[in-house]
Amino acid sequence: MAFDLSSVFPKLQLLMTSDHASVVSMNLFVALLCACIVIGHLLEENRWVNESITALLIGLCTGVVILLIRRGRSSHLLVFSEDLFFIYLLPPIIFNAGFQVKKKQFFVNFITIMLFGAVGTLISCAIITFGVSQSFKQLGIGSLDIGDYLAIGAIFAATDSVCTLQVLNQDETPLLYSLVFGEGVVNDATSVVLFNAIQSFDLNQLDSGIALKLLGNFLYLFIASTLLGVLTGLLSAYIIKKLYIGRHSTDREVALMMLMAYLSYMLAELCYLSGILTVFFCGIVMSHYTWHNVTESSRVTTKHAFATLSFVAETFIFLYVGIDALDIDKWRFVSDSPGKSIAVSSVLLGLLLVGRAAFVFPLSFLSNLAKKSPSEKINFRQQVIIWWAGLMRGSVSMALAYNQFTMSGHTQLRSHAMMITSTITVVLFSTVVFGLMTKPLIRYLLPNVKHISSAVTTESNTPKSHTVPLLGASQDSEADIDGNSLIRPSSIRLLLTTPTHTVHRYWRKFDNAVMRPVFGGRGFVPVEPGSPTEPNGHQWQ
């Protein structure tokens, strides 16, 4: 018995030491998060630095300090995990993006946003894939196959929507803000869907139908994921509308909304769909129906709770990327050939510039053809800003790179380690350099931009606290679209020139006649008096 206890004690001591190290790491990481929030607040009015750059720089400085303390052995506080990112950090960010989006204006410019976010991502992915397949062979990177090249294209086609929104001001440039926001969300979803579609095929046996199979799988994932998010959002609205949970407990309302949103993401992952698309459209549907069916206190609570969770997750990601950039284990693989590592990063940055330009300018031209009003068209200077602001790469690119080229944050292959270090280099360079230069570029190209906060109106059917419309101030109001002032299309040509306005008007009629009586939403009057959506209740904005 004594022998057994003596063999157990070392294991218990090792376990306690490991637990203590984890507690120390988490304490330090939480302290760094607090520092990011405080410093970000102090730099709120700075024209150069934003919160993403602040978190990255704090992470880099922390990594340097840890390297010095551990004498160059490690810079790790936490080991990167794809599950940590995709299951816990990404869902609140994407859901809050859908929950806070100005729905009417988002769908008015839906065609342009989808052109940039979906078609543009495919074009950029194709150019990056072709470029790396040709250049990496000449550089002698190592054992990369066609699947790796396609994955690299999907990885670096993912725009960092979080960072791009922080460098654009929705008061000064509402149209640019709206287009980059919509493109960023759809772009992230498209990149992940495309990445998953690539991984689901055996690309070592190429045939003439592989492109059609990839496209078919991509469309299936895109449509199925969207429908799942919509259905989950409608289910939450129906349950809360019928049961009036808020009469007894607002906590249950808030908990049900959060859990249903998270359930939509996990169901998508369970069914091998895109959780990003699912939870984004679930957020849109919840803000349109579910949010208006709960009590006033629940509306305030959910709005701030979702925004807070998203903010903390975003800061956590950028802070971790900064710390992980100095992971000595990955850099050891490329330390013997720094020139080749610089060449790989330079090639990727060059392909980012070319790949984004290849779709921003042509697709903007196509989008302008369908717009009659000059104020709605995207001029060349605005196109340059859209091109530049979307060059930043961030958390989604990092997560996909780790997913493709590492196992639990570690890799033993030199070519894979080089791709990880190159991804880190591109993320840091693009976030800092492109991010720092975006605001000065806007001031140079659009010198006459003025604040329009006094001229904007508030949309009543959104939980967003901002009063600035997501799309430009030139967009029609809801009353114009619903009323008779909108000219009905008298020909196919006229219909094609104003498709979003026409579709929106018919959707509003269908929504009022069919959807709202079943699922509630803004303006819904329940049969039972004293319910959460009683007419005399105050509508919180």
**How far apart, in whole angstroms, are the C-alpha atoms of residue 210 and residue 201?**
8
What pLDDT score was predicted for residue 318? 82
Which among 404, 173, 381, 161 is positioned nearest to 280, based on CA atoms? 161
What pLDDT score was predicted for residue 12? 46
**How far apart, in whole angstroms, are the C-alpha atoms of residue 87 and residue 69?**
32
What pLDDT score was predicted for residue 472? 33
Decide if 299 contacts 463 (C-beta within 8 A): yes
What pLDDT score was predicted for residue 377? 83
What one-letter code names the amino acid at 242? K
373 DSSP 8-state letter:
S
SS3 407: strand
DSSP string, 460-495: TT---S--S-SS-TTSPPHHHHHSTTSPPP-SHHHH
Q: What angle do CA 366, 371, 375 make, to 5 degrees?
A: 115
**How far apart, in whole angstroms, are the C-alpha atoms of residue 349 and residue 354?**
9
Which class for 161: exposed (0-12), middle (13-18), buried (19 or more C-beta within 10 A)?
Answer: buried
**How far apart, in whole angstroms, are the C-alpha atoms of residue 193 and residue 428?**
24
Q: How far is CA 453 from CA 103, 468, 534, in A?
A: 19, 7, 32
Q: What is the mean pLDDT of each run of 10 residues along the chain (541 residues)?
A: 51 54 80 89 72 83 83 67 79 85 72 87 91 85 80 86 66 75 78 77 66 78 90 93 80 91 93 85 92 88 90 85 75 73 90 93 89 80 89 82 71 78 87 83 78 39 41 36 45 50 74 85 54 42 35
The tokens of 32 are what? 């760094």
What pLDDT score was predicted for residue 178? 76
Q: How far is CA 535 from CA 55, 292, 526, 532, 538, in A?
A: 45, 12, 9, 9, 8
Helix axes 414-429, 146-156, angle to 10 degrees: 10
Count CA within 13 A, CB hemisphere, residue 207.
6
**How far apart, in whole angstroms, are the C-alpha atoms of residue 232 and residue 256?**
12
The tokens of 246 are what? 């808020």
Q: How far is CA 484 from CA 109, 210, 438, 489, 498, in A?
A: 21, 49, 42, 12, 15
What pLDDT score was predicted for residue 539? 38
What pLDDT score was predicted for residue 395? 74
The tokens of 190 are what? 């498209």
Which among 282, 329, 333 is positioned nearest to 306, based on CA atoms? 282
| Torsions phi, psi for 47 (to 5 deg) | -80, -10
DSSP string, 208-231: TTHHHHHHHHHHHHHHHHHHHHHH
Q: Is the pTM of this model over 0.85?
A: no
